[in-house]
Amino acid sequence: MKHAIRISCTRRNLKVVRDFVSDFLTSHALSSLVINQIVLAVDEVVANLIIHGNGEDESQFLDVRVQLQNHEFGIEIEDHNLTSYSPSSYQEPDLQEYVRIGKKGGVGMMLVNRIMDRVEFTTHSTHNLCRLYKKLA
């Protein structure tokens, strides 16, 4: 993937990633609705990796790479840490139960899965990789 950035794991860099993805997608003349949906999905994953995966440790980094090939947007988000955060074991929440008990949060990945066509997480030792894909018209 040609277009890439590296950010430290702080919430302050969420805007940097949103702008990076938005600028890339805007350069391909996509609708603002599609751009905003993809940016929202990417923002959720990056926030989870910064907060839950890396404990907002600014000495840790995320590498973010984007591409558009054959009318499919792809993004890779990669880190290297020893964490118990395991997004690959994600299961969709029971929304009715969440409403019943008044639980807040925990639905971001459900939103990501509904926006994107494919979401892949792989972990090997200290290497974590998330790939998101969206077919574009």
pLDDT tens readout for residues 14-52 = 999 999 999 999 999 899 999 999 999 999 999 999 998
Residue with the larger pLDDT of the pair 119 and 82: 119
Q: Please state, in angstroms and rounded to a whole number, the distance separating the CA atoms of residues 68 and 78.
A: 18
Tell me the mean pLDDT in the region 106-119.
86
Residue 94 pLDDT > 90? no
Note down the domain range covering 92: 3-135
Domain count, the chain: 1
CATH code assigned at 54: 3.30.565.10
**Token pair of 61 as six digits:** 């980094």
Residue 99 pLDDT > 80? no
Q: State the pLDDT confidence band at 84, using cuts at 50, 70 and 90.
A: low
Q: In the 3-class helix/strand/coil scheme, how is 46-66 assigned residue by residue?
A: HHHHHHHHCCCCCCCEEEEEE
